[in-house]
Chains A and B, each alone.
Chain A
């Protein structure tokens, strides 16, 4: 089964110079956890997820802690979130993004999602322009339907 058969053909996106607050509003309204970031040619140049926002607002030593309960002051986290809301998306996005093409297999897409700990992955054409997305639940659904090996 190819990615083209399992992808969601939606090109909702955010631009590099739009703000974190714009991103949050977009995700809230569309019930999404992340969005592809594109340039003026519609090429995908990054990916921004809610996890990236949380990481940006946490102290840099958080990754060394075993549990969030070790964060000395959660209030600081909220203050940092307030400080980054006007930042540009490009300051917090993951780049280069993990991308897939419509002719790739769904097995390969699942492999990339699992290995990179992603929920959503942009699907691009040969010029790197956004065509849609694949997400975990669609791939899990395809697997339970026995379509993945087809």
Chain B
């Protein structure tokens, strides 16, 4: 097993494609393939994409109820390269609903909050996390924090990872993400800026704000910072500099689903091969995201897709 992914608050992703979607109106889904149900949550998404890149991985976290069983079963159906090891809790796993309108170029997302995690569940998870950690080299921790879990959880998990000389890849937002970054225990940090463009108490408005935030993350001890900037760009920082990666064409908002997770999977895959070259990892991550953006739904991209898109975006050195 190469990679351990942690999804503390997984979901069953319900993706519905509705042309000309409008609030307060009746809509009918025209095509059965336009109503899909997939295992979701950011860590799980990375697991699925990594399996498409040929990387054997184990997915852990919390699942609950019948929805949890569907998430687990569907993950294993996707690929033999995915092993599951979730702690099952009393309450039901959440559902994330995304209404994609390709004509109106919109995505409307409704995410529920998920189950309450009790202290016993957390204790059992932490023990299983530590034991599973001994079997992998890279750990991806990604997504929201469920109710009942303290904000220091990312810091706690990442410390266990980096204390054993392994690499911690983290995507998240808010106090949990910031505490882990500030503790200097995150190797690759990618703030999830979809819901709010705010990090370390600073609003991100213009490019300069993004550059400063990326530099702050590196100063705290991360090797690579990735900040999504506008729809088609990413600000990248390593200990060697700051760059703006920007796609050449326009990407419809309806094609953005899963691109952030593809970015992270591309970075992880690259760093499995070449642990030290963070800039190359960012390039391959961006390439994976651009490849994923060609699909309206979450699709399994291949290594060939990443190779083919490696020159499909511009790189500008900022500092």
Contact = CB atoms under 8 A, between A and B. Distances in A.
Contacts of A40: 131
Nearest to B85: A11
B135 interface: yes
Contact of A29 (B83, B90, B128): B90
Nearest to A8: B76
Contacts of A41: 131, 134
**B contact residues, range:** 20 to 34
A9 B80 contact: yes
B89 interface: yes
Give the interface SS of chain B, mostly helix, strand, loop or mixed: mixed
Interface in A5-51: 8-13, 15, 18, 22, 26, 29-31, 38, 40-42
Nearest to B69: A31
A26 B90 CA distance: 10
A42 B64 contact: no
A29 B121 CA distance: 12
Contact count band on A: 20 to 34
Contacts of B80: 4, 9
A11 B128 CA distance: 10
A91 to B, nearest CB: 19
Contacts of A18: 124
A131 interface: yes
Given A10-B72, A26-B88, A30-B88, A131 B131 contact: no
Contact of B83 (A11, A15, A26): A11
Interface in B103-137: 124, 127-128, 131-132, 134-135
B86 A15 contact: no
B85 A29 contact: no
Interface of A: 4, 8-13, 15, 18, 22, 26, 29-31, 38, 40-42, 129, 131-132
Interface of B: 58, 64, 69, 72, 76, 80, 82-86, 88-90, 124, 127-128, 131-132, 134-135
A-B pairs with the 9 shortest C-beta distances? A29-B88, A9-B83, A11-B85, A10-B84, A30-B88, A42-B131, A9-B76, A11-B83, A40-B131
